[in-house]
Every structure is written in C-alpha cells, then in structure tokens.
Chain A
Amino acid sequence: MDVGSCSVFEAEIKKKQGERKRKSLHLDHFSLTTMLHLTTGRVGSLLAQRVTAALTSSSVRMASHGHEVAANEDLSQPMYWDSTNVPLPDRRYKVTLSSEDERLKQKEKGPWDQLSKEEKLALYRLSFSQTFSEMNQPSAEWKTVVGTIFIFLGLTGLIVWWQKVYVFPKPPRTFDDEWQAKQLQRMLEMRMNPIEGISSKWDYEKGQWK
C-alpha cells in the first residue's frame, strides 16, 4: 500500500542510490536507516489508517450493534438486497435450490390456495432474506449514543464543578443573601417595573406577595 507520504525520502534515496550505483552496491548506514524509516513510516501510517477505520467506520459500528455486514460484493452482477425503499431486488435470495425447494417451486405454479401456511412462508424465505418487520427492526445503537452523551455531560459537569471550587473568585458582597433581600425591598419601595414586573407581583396593602 503506497501511502505517498514518504516521497521526499524516496527522492533522496533515489538520488543517493543513483550516485552510489556508479560506485558500489553495498548497503551503507544511510540507506539502511532511510529504508527503515520508509518501512516504519509506511507500516505506521498503515496501522493508523486501519485503527481509524476500525474505530469509526459505519460497517464496524453497525456490526457491533447486531447489523452483521456481508462480504463485499461484485456490483456488476445482479444483487440481492433487503430494502423497504426498493423492495424488489434483482435476484432471488436463494439462488441454488435444493430438490425440496424445486418441488415447492413447482407447486407454486399451481393454485395458491392449495399451499399450506408453512409452504407459503418457505417460499417467501426462498425469495427473500428478511421480512419487512425484520428490516425495520431498531438496533441498540441508541444506547451507545445516549450513554456517550451522558458521559460527556458528566465530564463537563465535573469540569464546571472544579472551576467553581478552584478557579472562580469570591462573588461581590452584593450577592450575599442579606444584600439581595435589602435590594429586593428597595426595588419594591422604588416601584421598579410596576406594570407587569416585580412590583406588580407585590401586594402593597397587605405587605406580601400576591
């Protein structure tokens, strides 16, 4: 797999090797280390790509939640699929039929009311892998999503609490309960916001909230 990120090294190598070819072909320290760097670089980035794919690709996430992924298909051949949007695929699900299946298929050519319920179901399963209700089954992915959300909320909460304890300075004295009470009383006495605001909620005659 050519990652292309070592082209600078490769250019250097080619130049040095070109020069050295004219002299001799023995492996010197420089070419050994550069070749090692090339390999390590290639292996390292290959590894990184594989790990990223493993951690984030949709096929991996789906497979871990009960939606098994089939092998990669040749898309130029008639395909089978289960889809509610496009419900009739290119081909039947079971391509090669046993003799029992062949017999059932022959019986299907006759009147259908002579087919028993199990036979009808068997015929369905020959043509299709999943039923509509099976296709529409929900997965367990929501649990991972919700769990991750809560984890991050919790982490954020932890950070906020730590900030409150170790970072924030003491609030000004106007935030003391006593001051706030006096402030509220002053607001009421000054009739602040008397129409729909705070002074309108106070009953001045009875001296209490309405």
Chain B
Amino acid sequence: MAHPTQSGFQDAASPLMEELLHFHDHTLMVILMISTLVLYTIITMTLAKLTDMLVLDSQEIEVIWTILPAIVLTFIALPSLRILYLMDEVSDPHLTIKATGHQWYWSYEYSDYENLEFDAYMIPTQDLTPGQFRLLEADHRMVIPVESPIRALVSAEDVLHSWAHPRPGIKVDAIPGRLNQTTFMASHPGVFFGQCSEICGANHSFMPIAIEAVPLPHFENWTSLMIEDA
C-alpha cells in the first residue's frame, strides 16, 4: 500500500508494471520539457519592453508548431502502443483463477484444484488489530505462486465491478455476463492490495482485494489447507 502523503506510484510487482512506470517517467519528461518551453515563452513575451504592433500572421512558425507537436506525439505514442500490445500477450500461464465481483465482496475460484473457492470480505474498521490497514485488509487473500504467469478471469455476479491492484499493474473490469481475461506475474513475494474500481453501490469503497504472492512450496501448502477446510 502507499505510505501516507505518497503521491507517486507504488513500486512495481510485475514486469508489465515496470514497463508502465518507465513509460510514465518518459511521458512526464516530455511534458516537463514542453511546459518549460511554454513557461519560458510566456515570461519572455510578458516582460518584453518592445511591442510589435503590426504582427498579423506568420506561416513559418505555424508550420513549425504544427509539425513539432506531431513529432513529439509519435515519441509518446510508439512506447504506448508497444506496452498496449505487450499487455495482450498470452504467456502460457501456470494457473487460472476466476475472480468474481459481488455486491460487496470478491470470490475466487481456483478451478485447477478441486473445490477451491472462497469469498473475500473486507475486515471492518472496528475489527482491525492495531497496525492493520484500514479499508484494505480482506479476511481471505488470493494466494498465488511468485514468478509464475497467472491467468485471471474476471467477471461479476450482479453489477459492474473492477478488479484492480496498482502494484502488479492490473485493472480489469468485472462485467456481468462477460469473462475478461488478463495474465500477470508477480516478480517478488509480498502482499499487494487493491480496491474495487467501478462504482457498484453503497459499499463500493469497502470491497478490497488482497493478493499474496508466495514461493511455490508455500502456495502448495496453502492450497492443500484450503481444500481440506472446504
């Protein structure tokens, strides 16, 4: 989760999110250069002592300041498109998990295993133990093995929801009657929190998602325990 007053992105937990962070840095640099140029122009024009009263038009600069932005935009568009297509690559996932949005909780089905299904509700603020994260902790976490490509199939039972976590860089809309697919991979172990990102009623802000990426042996332990408990 973000620390208080954090304004930048959280660290990436998947290679795709790293790409997005780099792209964001690149785009912000372009914006910074343009803004500096514009600010400089504004200041010099405002503070200039002399005024040219007879300026009507100028074809040369009009051409320049049409072509130059077009070039700048290609510099932004090309990396953007590259990442867009990168996101759609299917990478031979090891595991398939179905995440279904309900009002107001998520349910997960690990269909590769028998009978591994559970619901994840938010832990209410009054039930938190000191140190837990308000509005982010869920009573069950979606456990995945680290460094394995995972296919997530996202859908909804009733109204629109959206399955989103910033650190792995996932946001998939949960649409009733439709199955949306995404693949992702956790680069390192940890707990990645996310929140529902499509307005879905009174408790839209209170249905978080917690993904826990653990080494494979621990994951296998967990699945065995969950199947036993079921």
Contacts and interface: CB of A to CB of B under 8 A. Distances in A.
A62 B130 CA distance: 63
Contacts of B188: 194
Interface in A174-195: 174, 178-180, 182-187, 190-195
B30 interface: no
Interface in A145-192: 172-174, 178-180, 182-187, 190-192
Interface stretch (B3-11, B67-75, B172-180): B3-11
B131 interface: yes
Nearest to A197: B11
B154 to A, nearest CB: 24
Size band of the interface chain A makes with B = 20 to 34
Given A190-B191, A193-B11, A172 B134 contact: yes
B1 A187 contact: yes
A197 B167 CA distance: 12
A195 B4 contact: no
A85 B2 CA distance: 56
A193 B10 contact: yes
B1 A192 contact: yes
Contacts of A174: 125, 128, 133-134
Interface residues of B, number: 21
Contacts of A179: 130-131
B1 A178 contact: no
Nearest to B188: A194
A192 B2 CA distance: 9
A182 B130 contact: yes
Contacts of A180: 4
A196 B131 contact: no
Nearest to A201: B3
Contacts of A196: 11
Contact of A85 (B12, B51, B128, B191): B51
Given A173-B125, A174-B125, A192-B1, A186 B131 contact: yes
A85 B48 CA distance: 12
Interface string A64-108: 000000000000000000001110000000000000000000000
A198 interface: yes
B133 to A, nearest CB: 7
A183 B131 contact: yes
B132 interface: yes
A173 to B, nearest CB: 7
B53 interface: yes
A172 B132 CA distance: 13
B190 interface: yes
Interface in B46-78: 49, 51, 53
7 contacts: A85-B51, A174-B134, A180-B4, A186-B131, A190-B190, A193-B3, A195-B12
Interface of B: 1-4, 6, 10-12, 49, 51, 53, 125, 128, 130-134, 188, 190-191
Interface of A: 84-86, 172-174, 178-180, 182-187, 190-198
A-B interface, 8 closest residue pairs, ranked by CB to CB distance from nearest:
A182-B131, A174-B134, A195-B11, A193-B11, A186-B131, A198-B3, A182-B130, A197-B11
